[in-house]
Amino acid sequence: MALKSVLASIVAAAAVVQVLLALWLYRKLPLAGRPPRPVRPAHRVTGFALFALTVPIAVHCLITYGVQLTSVRVAVHSLAGCFFYGAFAAKVTLVHSRRLPRWVLPAAGGSLAVIVGVLWYTSALWYYNGFQLPGI
């Protein structure tokens, strides 16, 4: 669990970087100015790395535990894990669509970031906090 928690923390940090890069691309990051050319590929590379880091975590969870609904924390974590891959597939599909309103892609990316936060909170933070969720 220690390794999964470290990987999940790296994924959470990468998600924060993803959100900041996306805000910069959409020129919604205060005081950042116009994004230079490397920001777009950095966003894509970070997104790919984030996704790649989640695969060993998810494979281990699915093989070892499967989808469980035994407690609220476990149920939220299991369902959020499933939603993460669906949301990721939707976002990758939306990137190539030019017909949708401009707000759809940021909403999909924001949903992914929230799901990563929920997954980290219900797993890595739970582990680091002595198998208890803070605030609950």
Q: Burial, 104: exposed, middle or buried (Cβ in 10 Å; 0-12, 13-18, 19+)?
A: middle
Reported pTM: 0.85
Largest CA distance in the chain: 48
* Domain assignment of residue 135, yes or no: no
> What is the domain count for the chain?
1
How crowded is residue 60: how many other Cβ atoms within 10 Å of its Cβ?
14
Q: How far apart are the first and last CA of the chain?
A: 21
* Domain assignment of residue 123, yes or no: yes
Per-residue pLDDT tens listing for the chain (136 residues)? 888 899 999 999 999 999 999 999 888 888 888 889 999 999 999 989 888 989 988 998 889 888 888 899 999 999 999 999 999 888 888 888 888 898 898 899 999 999 999 999 999 999 998 888 887 5
Domain ranges, residue 54 = 2-128
* Domain assignment of residue 51, yes or no: yes
